[in-house]
Structure 1
């Protein structure tokens, strides 16, 4: 079963048996914990960053990206600098790549509850 691993750079991915680095670039989350929140005063929490990413992927343009990401990431481990055990867009991408109906509202709520 594919899983999320922790690593700080794409060079860590090459040592992780074909894991895909998702920290930045094509698969990166543009919403970063600690940045100013667009929805509330103060900094964004990790859960809010994941929720905003999930909402983006549910949008009309985002759905096309979600379909592409699912195809490219299906069956692969994902490597991200986020600490394990905290909300991460990698958890969303794992679900997206390995289920038939990605980015459902209930999934985004489940991921952000972690």
Structure 2
């Protein structure tokens, strides 16, 4: 049977992989993926720690603690989503500015 940590991190990885695959192939993609990976690794460590602590407490207070864990996991997931959206927005802005610069630098006849 998979541990709570294994399940949570596997699900988190699925979301991360989907997100990376969904990114458009633009000039800033590599930078965005690098930043997303950093955020993912930080959140993964925190989620792992929370899962470990929760599993210890679950032995005694299963239902109550599981509800708390779900709330904490949702909070971490929401934080990760906000970080992701911020990074993607920055990438889109970089691409937009790059496109504008390219169009203004084009020779005019």
The question of a shared fold, defined as TM-score above 0.5 by the shorter chain, is answered with no
Larger radius of gyration between Structure 1 and Structure 2: 2
TM-score with structure 1 setting the length = 0.23
If the length of structure 2 is used for normalisation, what is the TM-score? 0.24
Question: Which has the larger share of helix?
Answer: 2
Q: Which has the higher strand share?
A: 1
